Amino acid sequence: MSWYRNTVWFVKGLREYTRGGYESASKRFNPADVEVDVAGRSFLVTGANSGIGKATAMEIARRGGTVHLVCRNKERAEVAKEEIVRETGNPSIFLHIVDISNPKEIWKFAEKFQNEHKLNVLINNAGCMVNNRELTEDGLEKNFATNTLGTYIMTTALVPLLEKAADARVITVSSGGMLVQKLNVSDLQSESGPFDGTMVYAQNKRQQVVLTEQWAKAHRNIHFSVMHPGWADTPAVRSSMPDFYERMKNSLRTEAQGADTVLWLAVSAEATKLPSGLFFQDRQPVPTHLPLAYTHSPPEDEEKLMEVLEEFSQKFKSASPG
């Protein structure tokens, strides 16, 4: 019976992830929440050349914010930057080429960025779902390197800069897929058992939720949040989940709909009235565990995750070029 109730709840929840779910939820939105002028505030968006990252950057630029686009592919990033400047008339758009799966690159970038810029809001959007086990040049499993370690290093490296800012925020784009995963700190790089890219991605997204909760406890002057964008029609979904895309393409959210809660968390005054460390969907906090799903972790596992990531982080910091 508990399995049945859990399944019914989850299927109902899946409907909320579609375009129809967004349209239903948006009836309670207050448009004034995001009708704000953010001129003078600085935003950094990773994975900003397409999909939810680009849509978020576009909307922040429309509101006058200074936007730093952190992208891996220089050619696509330059096209995205030109489009954002053209569409918004905002010239304060800056481009940084960084591979978020390369921890040494992130450290090098963050150290330079801190010396040259201010930062009010960090948006961790870059991610990947690699369906076969691939290793980076550093010997890291690629999903873990990008989604978990990359997010950890980018955030911890920029926390000192954020702590100097007024109304500092960190938003991480996770996924509702994490609801099917319990934190597993014993196999962070998916070395044992068969490799399932979708489940590895979901595990990484669970890790991002834990990171957000832990950061919120450790850094009281910064507002941390993590969110699920719903199922949106993005290049990443089309390439990483082609079967899912074909099945669901007529029900997927637009990129702007997927980015709506990211924007709300980044610019609205309402977002920071809520506690730091929460998980959001469609502008409201939602549970991080399904009923009776047994995905809760003991505190020692969450602490272990932070310890292991810090060890990795420091190892690559010492190895990064000056």
Instruction: Kindly list the catalytic residues.
Output: 201
Q: Under DSSP, is residue 279 helix (H, G, I), strand (E, B) or coil?
A: strand
One-letter amino acid for residue 259 of the chain = A
Q: Under DSSP, is residue 44 helix (H, G, I), strand (E, B) or coil?
A: strand
Integer CA distances (angstroms), 235 to 7, 75, 81, 102, 231, in order: 29, 16, 17, 22, 12
Separation between Cα atoms, residue 313 and residue 302, nearest integer Å = 17
Helix axes 103-116, 151-162, angle to 10 degrees: 20
Integer CA distances (angstroms), 13 to 21, 52, 212, 262, in order: 9, 21, 22, 19
Quote the distance between the C-alpha of residue 208 and its chain's center. Answer: 8
Q: Under DSSP, is residue 102 helix (H, G, I), strand (E, B) or coil?
A: coil
Find out whether 225 and 212 touch, Cβ atoms under 8 Å: yes
Find out whether 69 and 81 touch, Cβ atoms under 8 Å: yes
**Three-state secondary structure along 194-236?**
CCCHHHHHHHHHHHHHHHHHHHHHHCCCEEEEEECCCCECCHH
